[in-house]
């Protein structure tokens, strides 16, 4: 019979885990782990060690598998081990080796109750009884499958399982809170419900860590006979046998006993731990405590929503979860749509932000770290832990209490307008502090420092740290503030500022938030700091620049409005910021925000900047996250090097549009946009007085008056083709807020729909019509008077708005399309560059095509089911005409092949990726004929078979052949591993004019190389769910090698030009070095 250790050793070897990130679970950084691994993974390694785990297998910093042994096979012993490790929250599977068998448990399933079998609820995935069977039965867990993102048991290693410990605890505490609210602790008393839950978590944490002992409960109980009897009885004991050591639930049977214990805890630990107030004691009744007790005892019997309080071990559950729980509470206030500045920030984003600014070079300088809108302290907690891990590595030992206190006192600062959030931030930091201490150390010094600032208490008390301030970040530290606030929040003194400050502007029903926002805007006005559209993200960036010392850095999550809003004040804001601050890195998360937030969150970016004027050569690292198939498989954000742009800051300072252009485009796109804008704008052609919008119904304050002379063309009936649907016209409303511009309701005019059509297979389409008949419309339609123009000019403008040129131009330049509302504004219509046909042939054919499309039946989709045969023909003809229209418009603008490729690639693949994400054609594998493997440039001619990579190879060869001139040419090789291949290689080799082409002389196993790159090309970027996916661009003496993922968007003709430029630059550098 195999021993437990023999089973685990066999798993490590036969599943090839030893060649991956398989790390020993250790409690200190100097035990068999590198400094880098400890700084990034130390919390997981020490947590795993504390629960008896032997090793953890990581994929990109994410703990996926854990391995442990059990020397007994009794079900109770196994249940204890499994439930304890389940509390780690993040690992997906446990390999538990017992004498004679190896059990694999799914940790995303519910914990095991005393009455349950191990196999219940599908949690036991495998039972292996022989070492000889390990490789066969556990093949799904081989290293290469884990590292490539292949699903574990069909779930993926970022499984969102609702029974995972972190999600379960959040759900259960929400149920507790809602039950307390329903029992009467709602409205202004909701704060007392939060305090009750917070104290309960803290006491349970102290109990589980054996910091609170039986003697502590007995000391309070000794004051009254009833309390002694209650503590000695079984009343209030949890019904689960595994919970019967818990004493806290007994107290909840008696309100006086409970609050006496609360006051004793407050006195013993002497911190800012949910202080007991008279208001709370008056509001909380014994009925409320019994509700809390029933939950904590796991008495609530509801098979549809089972509670797991029997399994939670609070000394194991990751600390950052506590902060996120309370931030979630604030954002789910029932019936209240506000958070007073408190934001729920996923821990993965927190890690990502901190890793970008708290580098080892920064940490060695002992920086002061401020979160100006700290909420419940999740950024401060993670910053503290990161500082501690760095110090542990440097000093090669655990830190003592004085050192930990000094870090909190001297290096951390937090501000928030929400007083309750500040108390939770203090609570979270206390847990982080206690986490690094053993019980004996805590017993010697139970008194925790006061972290929250009290302006009426002297700061001379050495136990008053005063690092957390309830107040407005734009007022704390001002002239009217206390000495402590002035000392700690002083302009020009902070080393690092981090956080997720409020975005946008508070809603009308958020009076507290609006009051705080007015203070922020007033501060900006007083300091001559421009803010556009009352965007608070802009205000907080100004405040960060004010607080930072020269050379200090900030890393913030902010609204995309800091880059994309075009209000004049927003432009002035960017001028002020970019002239005085050096933007180091921007990551645009707009297209993948759903991976972090469940509901409609505004688009956001991560920005890292330094308070230092940028040099003339400074470039900004600008990343754009895309929702690719690989990201879907890994359940993570994958930043491809293909989506990384180096943006000169001086260019961003000179032209605001670069932020939108470079989001999905490159310097080639920027050059094309500049070229298009050398043409006359529509406004310059028709005159500024020719534009207007329709009526706005909204508050209906005014009589429609003259508007009633017109019928309304309903927005729902607005389509680009077909006769005017007069039978669908309707009367205008009797009252409106605005009547619109009367002139655009009559005469020849171009009508452009404000909203971008996104339904069905449109992938973002601009709808426009040319009409003469009189009718009104809403402000969702822009009107442009064109009656002064000739017919061919009107048709040309209409053709341009129908074409891919307009679609491309607006996608690349409009700040409102692709972010939030997906629309184009009237100003966008005005600035559309117009280039009329250069000759009669193009002009006449363009008129013919426009007239034919205008006569196309408008409701084709409806006719598909009625007349499928006729409509099938109709669709083919329409598609052909639209393609011809594009070609004619390209001729009007005299576009080169490169420019046409840019437009076509963006409209066919770029927009498709934005709208369809991982289901897009852009991320699907290429279709390449098996025979297409090598040849000369002359061999690259289209044939009837589909070949997705041909335009790429042809363009790449043409560019490189120009470098060789008449001395030779490049042969091309397309290299794929056996299907399905996640990577593709293209190799160019220089050959003579008469040379025979053969398979590459490079002696290597290409299938193995591509497989290895597939598994190892993604590297973590500071977070468990943010990775960088690499691209291989290599240049030798006579070879050029490109290796990328097998995704269509990476192998277009436009991508070939970028790869050609990059590799030619490499070749030039090699020549200079030689």
Q: Per-residue pLDDT for 221 more than 70?
A: yes
Q: How far is CA 738 from CA 147, 459, 708, 714, 754, in A?
A: 59, 59, 13, 17, 17
* List of residues 6+ apart from 257 with CB closer than 8 A: 220, 221, 224, 226, 227, 230, 251
The answer to whether the beta carbons of residues 823 and 754 sit under 8 Å apart is yes
Mean pLDDT score, 507-519: 86
Residue 37 has a pLDDT of 81
Residue 1015 has a pLDDT of 64
Question: Residues 750-771: pLDDT tens digits?
Answer: 999 999 987 666 789 999 999 9
Question: Residues 554-582: pLDDT tens digits?
Answer: 999 999 999 998 889 999 999 999 999 99
Residue 829 has a pLDDT of 97
Q: Per-residue pLDDT for 1030 more than 80?
A: no
Residue 151 has a pLDDT of 45
DSSP secondary structure string, 138-195? TGGG-HHHHHTT--STTS-TT---TTSHHHHHHHHHHHHHHHHHHTT--GGGHHHHHH
Distance, C-alpha 585 to centroid of its chain: 15
User: Which residue in this structure is represented by tokens 């070897």?
Assistant: 13
Residue 538 has a pLDDT of 96
Q: What are phi and psi of 889, to 5 degrees?
A: -65, -40
- Tell me whether strands 548-559 and 494-499 are parallel, antiparallel or unpaired: parallel
Question: Residues 917-926: pLDDT tens digits?
Answer: 888 899 899 9
Question: Residues 953-985: pLDDT tens digits?
Answer: 999 999 999 988 877 899 999 988 776 678 899
The model's confidence at residue 238, banded by pLDDT at 50, 70 and 90, is low
The model's confidence at residue 584, banded by pLDDT at 50, 70 and 90, is very high
The model's confidence at residue 818, banded by pLDDT at 50, 70 and 90, is confident
The model's confidence at residue 337, banded by pLDDT at 50, 70 and 90, is very low
Q: Which domains does the chain have, with CATH numbers?
A: 4-161 (no CATH), 166-317 (no CATH), 347-614 (3.40.50.150), 694-892 (3.90.220), 924-1073 (no CATH)
For residues 631 and 905, give the distance between their C-alpha atoms in angstroms, rounded to a whole number. 21
Provide Rg for the chain, Cα atoms: 33
Nearest to 372, CA basis, from 545, 557, 498, 524: 498
* List of residues 6+ apart from 1070 with CB closer than 8 A: 1035
HSE on the CB side for 318, CA within 13 Å? 27
The model's confidence at residue 35, banded by pLDDT at 50, 70 and 90, is confident
Greater confidence, 892 or 977?
892
Q: Per-residue pLDDT for 157 more than 50?
A: no
Beta bridge partners of 921: none
The answer to whether the beta carbons of residues 43 and 1001 sit under 8 Å apart is no
Question: Residues 1017-1028: pLDDT tens digits?
Answer: 665 555 544 555
**pTM, whole model, 2 decimals?**
0.86
For residues 344 and 600, give the distance between their C-alpha atoms in angstroms, rounded to a whole number. 13
Q: Per-residue pLDDT for 996 more than 90?
A: no
Q: What are phi and psi of 645, to 5 degrees?
A: -120, 145
Mean pLDDT of the chain: 86
For residues 974 and 989, give the distance between their C-alpha atoms in angstroms, rounded to a whole number. 12
Residue 483 has a pLDDT of 83
For residues 164 and 123, give the distance between their C-alpha atoms in angstroms, rounded to a whole number. 11
The lowest-confidence range among 231-235, 242-246, 684-688 is 242-246
Mean pLDDT score, 622-651: 79
User: Token digits for 458?
Assistant: 């002297």
Mean pLDDT score, 882-910: 96
For residues 454 and 470, give the distance between their C-alpha atoms in angstroms, rounded to a whole number. 9
The model's confidence at residue 525, banded by pLDDT at 50, 70 and 90, is very high
Mean pLDDT score, 721-744: 94
Nearest to 350, CA basis, from 317, 316, 314, 374: 374
Q: Which residues of 470-503 are buried (b: 16+ CB within 10 A; e: fewer)?
A: bbbbbbbbeeebbebbeebbeeeebbbbbbbbbb
């Amino acid at each position: 019979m195999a021993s437990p250790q023999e089973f685990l050793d066999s798993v490590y070897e036969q599943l090839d885990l030893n060649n991956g990130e398989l790390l020993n679970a250790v409690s200190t950084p100097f035990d068999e782990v590198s400094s880098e691994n400890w700084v990034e993974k130390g919390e997981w390694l020490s947590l795993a060690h504390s629960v008896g785990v032997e090793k953890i297998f990581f994929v990109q910093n994410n703990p996926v598998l854990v391995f442990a042994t059990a020397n007994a096979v009794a079900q109770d012993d196994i249940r204890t081990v499994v439930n304890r490790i389940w509390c780690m929250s993040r690992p997906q599977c446990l390999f538990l080796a017992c004498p004679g068998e190896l059990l694999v448990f799914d940790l995303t399933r519910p914990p095991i109750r005393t009455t349950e079998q191990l196999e219940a609820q599908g949690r036991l995935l495998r039972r292996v009884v022989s070492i000889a069977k390990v490789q066969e039965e556990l093949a799904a867990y081989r290293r290469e499958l884990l590292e490539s993102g292949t699903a574990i048991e069909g779930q993926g290693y970022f499984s969102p399982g609702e029974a995972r410990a972190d999600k379960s605890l959040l759900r259960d505490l929400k149920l507790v809170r809602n039950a307390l609210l329903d029992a009467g602790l709602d409205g202004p008393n909701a704060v007392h419900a939060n305090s009750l839950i917070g104290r309960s978590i803290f006491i349970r944490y102290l109990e589980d860590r054996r910091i609170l002992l039986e003697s502590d409960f007995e000391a309070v109980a000794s004051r009254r006979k009833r309390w002694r009897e209650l503590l000695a009885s079984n009343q209030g004991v949890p019904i689960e046998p595994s919970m019967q050591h818990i004493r806290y639930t007994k107290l909840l049977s008696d309100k006086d006993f409970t609050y006496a214990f609360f006051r004793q805890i407050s006195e013993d630990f002497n911190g800012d731990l949910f202080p007991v107030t008279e208001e709370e004691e008056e509001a909380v009744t014994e009925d409320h405590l019994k509700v809390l007790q029933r939950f904590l005892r796991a008495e609530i019997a509801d098979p549809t929503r089972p509670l797991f309080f029997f399994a939670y071990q609070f000394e194991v559950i990751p600390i950052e979860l506590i902060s996120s729980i309370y931030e979630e509470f604030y954002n789910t206030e029932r019936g209240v749509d506000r958070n007073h500045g408190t934001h729920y920030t996923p821990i993965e984003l927190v890690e990502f932000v901190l890793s970008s600014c708290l580098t080892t070079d920064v940490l060695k300088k002992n920086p002061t770290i401020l979160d100006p809108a700290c909420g419940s302290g999740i950024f401060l907690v993670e910053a503290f832990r990161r500082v501690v891990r760095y110090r542990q590595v440097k000093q090669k030992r655990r830190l003592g209490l004085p050192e930990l206190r000094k870090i909190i006192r001297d290096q951390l600062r937090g501000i928030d307008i929400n007083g309750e959030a500040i108390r939770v931030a203090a609570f979270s930091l206390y847990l982080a502090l206690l986490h690094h201490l053993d019980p004996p150390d805590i017993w010697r010094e139970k008194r925790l420092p006061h972290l929250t600032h009290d302006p009426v208490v002297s700061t001379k008390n050495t136990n008053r740290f005063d690092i957390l301030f309830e107040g407005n970040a734009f007022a704390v530290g001002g002239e009217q503030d206390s000495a402590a606030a002035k000392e700690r929040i002083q302009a020009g003194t902070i080393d690092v500022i981090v956080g997720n400050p409020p975005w946008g502007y508070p809603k009308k029903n958020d009076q507290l938030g609006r009051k705080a926002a007015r203070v922020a805007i007033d501060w900006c006005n007083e300091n001559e700091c421009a803010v556009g559209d009352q965007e608070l993200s802009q205000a907080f960036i100004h405040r960060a620049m004010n607080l930072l010392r020269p050379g200090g850095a900030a890393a913030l999550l902010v609204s995309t409005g800091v880059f994309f809003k075009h209000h004049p004040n927003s432009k002035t804001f960017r001028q002020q910021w970019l002239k005085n601050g050096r933007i180091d890195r921007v990551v645009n998360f707009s297209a993948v925000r759903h991976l972090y937030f469940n509901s409609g969150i505004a688009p956001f970016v991560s920005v890292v900047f330094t308070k230092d004027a940028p040099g003339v050569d400074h470039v900004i690292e600008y990343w754009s996250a895309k929702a690719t198939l690989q990201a879907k498989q890994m359940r993570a954000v994958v930043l491809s090097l293909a989506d990384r742009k180096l943006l000169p800051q001086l260019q961003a300072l000179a032209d605001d549009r670069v932020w939108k252009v470079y989001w999905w485009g490159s310097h080639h796109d920027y050059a094309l946009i500049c070229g298009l804008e050398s043409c006359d704008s529509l406004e310059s052609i028709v005159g500024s007085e020719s534009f207007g919008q329709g009526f706005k119904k909204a508050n209906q304050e005014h009589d429609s008056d003259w508007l009633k002379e017109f019928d309304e063309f309903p927005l729902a009936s607005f389509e680009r083709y077909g006769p005017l649907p007069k039978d669908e016209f309707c009367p205008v409303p009797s009252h409106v807020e605005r009547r619109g511009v009367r002139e655009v309701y009559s005469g020849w005019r171009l009508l452009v729909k404000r909203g971008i059509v996104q339904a069905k297979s449109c992938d973002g389409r601009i709808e426009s019509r040319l009409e003469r008949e009189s009718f009104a419309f809403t402000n969702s339609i822009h009107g442009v008077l064109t009656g002064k123009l000739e017919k061919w000019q009107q048709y040309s403008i209409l053709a341009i708005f129908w074409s891919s040129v307009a679609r491309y131009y607006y996608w690349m330049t409009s700040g409102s399309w692709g972010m939030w509302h997906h629309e184009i504004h009237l100003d966008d219509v005005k600035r559309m560059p117009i280039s009329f046909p250069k000759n009669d042939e193009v002009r006449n054919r363009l008129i013919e095509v426009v007239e034919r499309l205008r006569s196309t039946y408008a409701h084709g989709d409806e006719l598909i089911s009625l007349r499928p045969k006729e409509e099938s023909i109709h669709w083919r003809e329409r598609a052909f005409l639209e393609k011809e229209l594009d070609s004619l418009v390209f001729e009007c603008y005299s576009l080169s092949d490169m420019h046409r490729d840019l437009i076509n690639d963006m409209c066919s693949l770029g927009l498709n990726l934005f709208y369809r994400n991982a289901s897009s054609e852009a991320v699907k594998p290429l279709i390449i004929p098996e025979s297409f493997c090598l040849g000369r440039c002359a061999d690259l001619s289209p044939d009837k078979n589909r070949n997705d990579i041909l335009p790429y190879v042809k363009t790449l060869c043409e560019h490189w052949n120009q470098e060789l001139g008449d001395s030779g040419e490049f042969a091309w090789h397309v290299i794929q591993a056996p299907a399905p291949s996640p990577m593709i290689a293209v190799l160019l080799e220089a050959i003579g004019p008469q040379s025979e082409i053969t398979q590459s002389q490079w002696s290597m196993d290409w299938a193995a190389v591509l497989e290895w790159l597939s598994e190892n090309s993604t590297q973590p970027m500071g977070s468990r769910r943010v990775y960088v996916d690499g691209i291989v661009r290599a240049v030798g003496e006579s070879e050029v090698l490109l290796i990328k993922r097998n995704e269509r968007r990476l192998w277009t003709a436009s991508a070939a030009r970028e790869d050609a430029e990059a590799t030619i630059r490499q070749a030039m550098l090699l020549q200079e070095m030689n």
